[in-house]
Each structure stands twice: as structure tokens, then as C-alpha cells.
């Protein structure tokens, strides 16, 4: 059956300019970190990509090791592109990354030029693409000179394998050096992808100011703290939750009385705003103009539609922000 996207998909989505660049990203982007691997239902993943694009989500974020098994999310996304999006490639922003362990031996991890160039070549083959729109170094490498890693990103752009480059999980001091090196090479850093949410705020310790000052976009990942900032765990651990079925990135030790108490009180504010807690958590990030887009994850299409609906209310009163800060500081 031929996929025909919603003709009104660009009507309601908000698109934000990424730093000082000419590129705009949707306020919400779909991450394929979970639920798109070889162990997952392909048709469900396909339906989620359809739903996202129908709602104006044009940006799809991957990495070489997403799965499981590693690489399978890119393979599945490549199948979806081939089946349904061959006529819409120029309407999509597709990103991938390298920086975590991908294959055995000394050349399958971290930040050497050997690893980054080889990894992107593999990613392009898996997705059956000529280029990605954004390619990230996924994490800092303490042993490879930063100049080499950034030179690899510059080379990849000059080879035509990526249009833009970014960094992820870099703290402010190393991010500043990376941005300076990329500027000197003539390939500016487009965007930074930090872990950032109401419960994870290290990015406020200088990074957000740096990105605003340097004209670099910001796209937070794990905006819902792996599900803690939803109503899912307010009354126990559901049998179908990530904690119950996986526990790899979120487990029972994270579901503490303190986190549940905070989520419960935040949920009361969300209800007053006619939002779900997850929607308010997304809106809370989007209130900052330095945030270009927020990466959402999903396990079913309905969750994507629910997340996109957060844009109906991304403004906060001073009283709401004060109440939220008081809860988070408790």
C-alpha cells in the first residue's frame, strides 16, 4: 500500500532556526534510540515514522549503535525510507552519530578519524543514503586529540557525506574548544545534543549560555528522563513499561519515593495547564529560545501525537515556573 503523507502536515508544526544557520528543525524531532531495532515490530516502527511525518516532524535522529542489535535501527529506517519516502527525501532531516562501541577491535569506538569515517560509511549503506543531513560525534574521546575528531567531521562534510555536523554529550569547556576548532576549519558546529530535562540540568551549568553565545543549536535528548517525567510510574511500575521489560537505561532503583513525589506534584501543575506531565516537560524545554528542537521517543504512534500536542501550550506564567522550581529543588 502506497504511503501518502498528510497534505496539511506543515500547518501546525513550529519550525525553529538552528543557531545561526539557515536550517530550521521542527520543535519536536523523533529519536530512534528505542523501539526501532531488529528485536522490535517493524510495522509499528513504520507506523510511528508515518505518524511523525504526518504531524510535520521532519527530523529523524539515529546513531550507528541504535538497535538492538547495533545498526538495526538504521537498517529498519532505511527500509522505511525505501518503501515510503523515496519521493520525500528532500523534506527530511536525517541524522546519525558515532562515538560509542560499534564493532570489535581498536577502530570501532571513540573519536579517531578512522572510526568516524568508517562508521558513517556503514551507516549510509544501512540506510541506503548518499548523505545524512547531520552527523554527530556522540561523546568526547579523552585519548584522541580533539583536533583530529573535529577534522574528521570537517572531512566528512567536504566529502559530501553530511551537510552539517554536531556534537553530543560534550560539557561546556570541551564543547567550546570543539566549536572553535570547527569554526577555524570552515565547518561550523550546527548543533549540540545534550541530555537535558527537568530532572537532568547539567546543561544549565554554562553549556546553554555557550550555545546561545556561539549561535549553535540545541536538541535535548531524554526530555522525559526515560519516563520518570510521565504519569506512567505515579502509581507503581506497569508490566509493559521500560523498567519492567528492559531495565537497561531505567530500572527500579531510579523509581525512588523522592522522584515519584516530585513527579506527582509536577503532574498537579500539568493538570492545571490542561496538559499531561510528559507534555509539560516538553513544553518546559521548548520555552527556552536556545532550544531548537526536542528529541522525543515513542513506543507507539499515539505517543507521538500526544507529544506534538504539547505545542498548544509552551508558555509558562512566572507563578508556574516558580512552583516548578520549588518542586525540583525540594
pLDDT tens digits, residue range 173-221?
A: 999 999 999 999 999 999 999 999 999 999 999 999 999 999 999 999 9
Domain contains 321: no
324 occurs within a structural domain: no
For 316, counting Cβ atoms within 10 Å of its Cβ (0-12 exposed, 13-18 middle, 19+ buried), the class is: middle
Calculate helix-pair angle for 301-308, 277-286, nearest 10 degrees: 50
- Per-residue confidence (pLDDT) for residue 236, from 0 to 100: 56
Q: Is residue 104 part of a domain?
A: yes
- Centroid of chain to Cα 254: 21
pLDDT at 246 over 60: no
What is the predicted pLDDT for the residue at 264?
Answer: 96
Domain assignment present for residue 10? The answer is no
Paired with 59 in beta bridges are 93
Residue 74 scores a pLDDT above 70: yes
Phi and psi at 20, nearest 5°, equal -95, 5
Q: Is 36 exposed, middle or buried (0-12, 13-18, 19+ CB in 10 A)?
A: buried
Percent of the chain whose pLDDT exceeds 70: 94
Examine residue 73 and state whether it is found in any structural domain, yes or no: yes
Reported as a pLDDT band with limits 50, 70 and 90, residue 234 is: confident
> In this predicted model, which residue has the larger pLDDT, 95 or 252?
95
Q: Using CA atoms, how far apart are residues 98 and 158, in angstroms rounded to an integer?
A: 18
What CATH number did the domain enclosing 43 receive?
Answer: 3.20.20.100
Q: What is the pLDDT of residue 280?
A: 98
The DSSP bridge pattern shows strands 15-17 and 24-26 to be: antiparallel
User: CA-based diameter of the chain, in Å?
Assistant: 54
- Tally of domains within the chain: 1
Per-residue pLDDT, 255: 80
Q: How confident is the model over 52-81, as a mean pLDDT? A: 98
Domain span at residue 72?
15-225+288-312
Q: Is pLDDT of 249 > 80?
A: no
In a domain, 197, yes or no: yes
Tens of pLDDT, residues 11-57: 999 999 999 999 999 999 999 999 999 999 999 999 999 999 999 99
Q: Is residue 236 part of a domain?
A: no
Give the pLDDT of residue 233. 85
Beta strands in 124-226 (DSSP E): 132-137, 162-168, 189-193, 217-218
Q: Is 262 domain-assigned?
A: no
pLDDT tops 50 at residue 222: yes
- What residue has cell string 579523552? 142
Which residues does 98 contact at the CB level (< 8 Å), separation at least 6?
Answer: 63, 64, 115, 116, 119, 120, 123, 135, 136, 137, 138
The number of residues making up the chain comes to 330
Amino acid at each position: 500500500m502506497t504511503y501518502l503523507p498528510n497534505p496539511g502536515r506543515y500547518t501546525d508544526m513550529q519550525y525553529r532556526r538552528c543557531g545561526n544557520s539557515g536550517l530550521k528543525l521542527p520543535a519536536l524531532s523523533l529519536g530512534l534510540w528505542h523501539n526501532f531495532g531488529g528485536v522490535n515490530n517493524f510495522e509499528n516502527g513504520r507506523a510511528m515514522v508515518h505518524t511523525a511525518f504526518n504531524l510535520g516532524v521532519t527530523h529523524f535522529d539515529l546513531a550507528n549503535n541504535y538497535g538492538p542489535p547495533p545498526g538495526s535501527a538504521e537498517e529498519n529506517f532505511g527500509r522505511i525510507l525505501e518503501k515510503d519516502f523515496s519521493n520525500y527525501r528532500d523534506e527530511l532531516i536525517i541524522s546519525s552519530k558515532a562515538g560509542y562501541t560499534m564493532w570489535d577491535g581498536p577502530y570501532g569506538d571513540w573519536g579517531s578519524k578512522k572510526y568516524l569515517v568508517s562508521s558513517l560509511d556503514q551507516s549510509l549503506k544501512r540506510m541506503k543514503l548518499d548523505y545524512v543531513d547531520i552527523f554527530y560525534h556522540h561523546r568526547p574521546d579523552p585519548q584522541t586529540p580533539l583536533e583530529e575528531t573535529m577534522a574528521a567531521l570537517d572531512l566528512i562534510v567536504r566529502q559530501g557525506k553530511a551537510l552539517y555536523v554536531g556534537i553530543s554529550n560534550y560539557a561546556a569547556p570541551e564543547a567550546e574548544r570543539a566549536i572553535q576548532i570547527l569554526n577555524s576549519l570552515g565547518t561550523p558546529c550546527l548543533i549540540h545534543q545534550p541530555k537535558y530535562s527537568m530532572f537532568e540540568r547539567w546543561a544549565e551549568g554554562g553549556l546553554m549560555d555557550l550555545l546561545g553565545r556561539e549561535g549553535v543549536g540545541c536538541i535535548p535528548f531524554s526530555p522525559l528522563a526515560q519516563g520518570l517525567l510521565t504519569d506512567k510510574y505515579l502509581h507503581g511500575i506497569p508490566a509493559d513499561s521500560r523498567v519492567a521489560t528492559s531495565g537497561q537505561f531505567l530500572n527500579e532503583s531510579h523509581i525512588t519515593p523522592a522522584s515519584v513525589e516530585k513527579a506527582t506534584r509536577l503532574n498537579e501543575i500539568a493538570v492545571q495547564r490542561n496538559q499531561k506531565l510528559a507534555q509539560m516537560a516538553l513544553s518546559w524545554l521548548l520555552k527556552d529560545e536556545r532550544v531548537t528542537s526536542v528529541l522525543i521517543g515513542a513506543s507507539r504512534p499515539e505517543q507521538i501525537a500526544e507529544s506534538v500536542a504539547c505545542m498548544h501550550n509552551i508558555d509558562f506564567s512566572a507563578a508556574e515556573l516558580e512552583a516548578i522550581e520549588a518542586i525540583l529543588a525540594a
